[in-house]
Amino acid sequence: MKVFELPKRTFKFFVAIHPLFVSLIQLRVLYILIILLGNKQKNMHVIIYLASSANGMISNQRNVPDWLSPEYGQGFMAICQQTKAVIMGKTTYNILAPGYLPLKDEGALVVLTHDTKLPPAQPNVLFTDQSPQAIIAMLESKGYKEAVIIGGTQTVSEFFKAGLVNEIRLVIEPALFDGSLPLLKDVNRDFKLSLSGVKQLNANTVELDYFVN
């Protein structure tokens, strides 16, 4: 019965090596999990929300915010409440803290600074000197799906430079400033945008929404 001996041996062979197949399947499952987790970070939606003069400046030389409309303020509060994850530079934090921070006792207020040992104005303030990538990964690990960057120029530029910005919402106020702070600085590259919305907020102010390509 030599005819059946070969399949029998073959069967024994497969029984002997079946743990190898099990390991291969486990490896494949692990690989898929790694891919899924790796893609997760790319799902974080990062929005810049800024007020700008008609010539692209985000601050006047006097550094007094008397040119900002109430509608910009309302939009600012609304987007911070929506994302619950707010990123800003230390200079912007110094302007807002303690009385005007856009989140009170919930969410995360991430402040870029080299002085990370400073006492925070409230418990949800996190001072960090981490890279933009590490900040986004940290927020994502805490379950946030989107984050808003509220300024200023240095902070916005760092996130643009790192290629982490998905969307920019610009509230264009009716003013022109000479020699003040531009929206981007030292980024050394161009960005193409796609217009996703235009809203007239009052008689003189418009909001332009763009996706970053």
Q: Rank residues 153 and 205 by Cβ distance to ligand NAP and give the closer one.
A: 153
Cβ-based neighbours of 151, under 8 Å, separated by 6 or more: 50, 58, 88, 89, 92
Binding site for ligand NAP (CB under 6 A): 50-51, 58-59, 63, 88-92, 95, 112-115, 129, 150-155, 158, 181
Q: Rank residues 27 and 172 by Cβ distance to ligand NAP and give the closer one.
A: 172
Inter-residue contact 92 to 150 (CB < 8 Å): yes
Q: Rank residues 89 and 107 by Cβ distance to ligand NAP and give the closer one.
A: 89
In the bound complex, what is the minimum distance in angstroms from residue 20's beta carbon to ligand NAP? 48
Q: Rank residues 115 and 190 by Cβ distance to ligand NAP and give the closer one.
A: 115
Crossing angle of helices 2-42/132-141, nearest 10°?
Answer: 110
Inter-residue contact 126 to 109 (CB < 8 Å): yes
In the bound complex, what is the minimum distance in angstroms from residue 140's beta carbon to ligand NAP? 19
In the bound complex, what is the minimum distance in angstroms from residue 150's beta carbon to ligand NAP? 6
Q: What is the rounded CA–CA span in Å between residue 97 and residue 91?
A: 10
Which residue sits closest to ligand NAP, CB atoms considered? Answer: 152
Cβ-based neighbours of 204, under 8 Å, separated by 6 or more: 69, 173, 174
In the bound complex, what is the minimum distance in angstroms from residue 14's beta carbon to ligand NAP? 57
